Amino acid sequence: MSEPTTLIALLHGPDQPGLVAKTAGWIFARGGNILHADQHRDIEEGVFFQRIEWEPSNASSVEGESAAFREFAGVLGMDSRVAVSTRKQRVVLFVSKADHCFHDLILRWRANEFPCDLVGILGNHPDLESASKAYGIGFHHVEVRPERKGEAEGRQLEILRQLNVDLVVLARYMQVLSADFLKALGRPVINIHHSFLPAFAGGKPYHQAHRRGVKLIGATAHYATPDLDEGPIIQQDVARVTHRHSVEDLVRKGRDLEKMVLAQAVRWHLENRVLVYGNKTVVFD
The residues that are catalytic are 229
φ and ψ of 205, to 5 deg: -65, -30
Burial class (CB in 10 A: 0-12, 13-18, 19+), 90: middle
Nearest C-alpha neighbor of 142 from the set 180, 164, 175, 190: 175
CA end-to-end distance (rounded Å), the chain: 25
Q: State yes or no: cis peptide before 198, omega within 30 of 0.
A: yes
Half-sphere exposure of 14 (CA within 13 A, CB side): 5
Burial class (CB in 10 A: 0-12, 13-18, 19+), 40: middle
Whole-angstrom Cα distance, residue 58 to residue 31?
A: 9
- Please check whether residue 232 is in contact with residue 244, taking contact to mean a CB–CB distance below 8 angstroms: no
Nearest C-alpha neighbor of 277 from the set 9, 48, 91, 89: 48
Q: How many residues does the chain have?
A: 285
The pairing of strands 79-84 and 167-170 is: unpaired
Q: Got the DSSP string for 171-182? A: SS--SPPPHHHH
Q: What is the dihedral of CA 119, 124, 128, 132, to 10 degrees?
A: 10
Amino acid letter, 171: A
